[in-house]
A and B are shown apart, each in its own frame.
Chain A
Amino acid sequence: AQTVTQSQPEMSVQEAETVTLSCTYDTSESDYYLFWYKQPPSRQMILVIRQEAYKQQNATENRFSVNFQKAAKSFSLKISDSQLGDAAMYFCAYRSSILTGGGNKLTFGTGTQLKVEL
């Protein structure tokens, strides 16, 4: 079974600064997907960014980028130019290849609470 570990329960960043959230995972599969989700106080789960394991290039979405190290099984999220609206719980998640028959079943980490300070 796959596991996802987020070792930082809380992180703080100053507005306009850069912060990196860590995530490691364990799997014996070679084809999979990794995600970062944001959960603000409203509880809505919002997809931030997605990475396909077969792609060597790191995914980017505006101010959000990842550092995907497949051999090290590491998948960190970098938020640049942090804004007050970035304050939320961030979850790292793993999904097996569709070919395994698991569909979009996700395995989540325990989350990192990000605080953005003025």
Chain B
Amino acid sequence: NAGVMQNPRHLVRRRGQEARLRCSPMKGHSHVYWYRQLPEEGLKFMVYLQKENIIDESGMPKERFSAEFPKEGPSILRIQQVVRGDSAAYFCASSPPTRYTEAFFGQGTRLTVV
């Protein structure tokens, strides 16, 4: 059973470009969470999605950031018009729809904006 897969592992974008980060949850997991880790900091929650629904986006910046988790395919975190401050590691975690299991993390995508 493959773990949570994130790609790419490393992404370099110039200022003003778009970044698309992908997350394929573990098999049977229908809940996805995105976190951002700035250098020398802990992970900060961004958004919680279930298939085709955004459940909690309280940690998402109001502009330029969006996330989706379609019925088919991976979850996508999209950052438009990237700025240097977006440089960070972005982690995805997934969990099944049961009460007492924990979330499993992918290895993250390191985004560098130049």
Contact = CB atoms under 8 A, between A and B. Distances in A.
B42 A108 contact: yes
Contacts of A104: 31, 33, 93, 95, 101-103
A47 B43 contact: no
22 contacts: A35-B102, A42-B107, A43-B110, A45-B93, A45-B105, A91-B43, A98-B100, A103-B31, A103-B33, A103-B48, A103-B95, A104-B31, A104-B95, A104-B103, A105-B45, A106-B33, A106-B35, A106-B93, A106-B103, A107-B45, A108-B35, A108-B44
Contact of A111 (B42, B44, B100): B42
B62 interface: no
Interface in B31-67: 31, 33, 35, 41-45, 48, 55-56
Chain A facing B: main interface SS = loop
A62 interface: no
The size class of the interface chain A forms with chain B is: 20 to 34
A45 B91 contact: yes
B3 to A, nearest CB: 9
Interface in B1-47: 31, 33, 35, 41-45
The size class of the interface chain B forms with chain A is: 20 to 34
A28 interface: no
A107 B59 CA distance: 11
Given A42-B107, A45-B105, A50-B102, A102 B56 contact: yes
Interface in B77-114: 89, 91, 93, 95, 99-103, 105, 107-108, 110
